[in-house]
A and B are shown apart, each in its own frame.
Chain A
Amino acid sequence: MGDMARAATTADAFNAVAEPRRRELLDVLALGERPVNDLVAALGLAQPQVSKHLRVLREVGLVDVRDVGRQRMYRLNALPLKELHDWVLSYETLWTRRFDLLDEVVAELKAKEQDSGGDDE
Chain B
Amino acid sequence: MAETTSSRKAVVTLPSDTEILITRVFDAPKHLVYRAWTTPEYIARWWVGDRGVATVVDVDLRVGGTWRYVMTANAGFEVAFHGEYHEVVPNERLVTTEVFEAMPDLPALNVCTFTEEDGRTTVTLLVRHTNKQARDTHLSYGMEGGMNEAFDKLEAIAISLA
Contacts and interface: CB of A to CB of B under 8 A. Distances in A.
A31 interface: no
Contact of B22 (A11, A61, A79, A95): A95
A68 interface: no
Of the four ranges (under 10, 10 to 19, 20 to 34, 35 or more), the interface on chain B belongs to 35 or more
Given A15-B14, A83-B156, A105 B140 contact: no
A99 B24 CA distance: 8
B153 A87 contact: yes
For B20, B36, B160, the residue with the greatest tally of chain A CB atoms inside 10 Å of its CB is B36
A7 to B, nearest CB: 6
Interface stretch (A19-27, A34-42, A46-54, A106-114): A106-114
B50 to A, nearest CB: 5
A105 B46 contact: yes
Of the four ranges (under 10, 10 to 19, 20 to 34, 35 or more), the interface on chain A belongs to 35 or more
B51 A94 contact: yes
Interface in A77-121: 79-80, 83-84, 86-88, 90-107, 109-110, 113, 121
B160 A96 contact: no
Given A11-B132, A83-B156, A87-B140, A103 B10 contact: no
Nearest to A102: B46
Interface of A: 7-12, 14-15, 61, 79-80, 83-84, 86-88, 90-107, 109-110, 113, 121
Given A88-B139, A105-B45, A109-B32, 19 more contacts: A9-B17, A9-B161, A12-B17, A79-B156, A79-B160, A80-B160, A86-B143, A87-B142, A91-B20, A92-B10, A94-B49, A96-B8, A98-B47, A100-B8, A102-B36, A102-B37, A102-B42, A103-B26, A106-B33
Interface of B: 8-12, 14, 16-17, 20, 22, 24, 26-28, 31-33, 35-37, 42, 45-51, 132, 136, 139-144, 150, 153, 156-157, 160-161
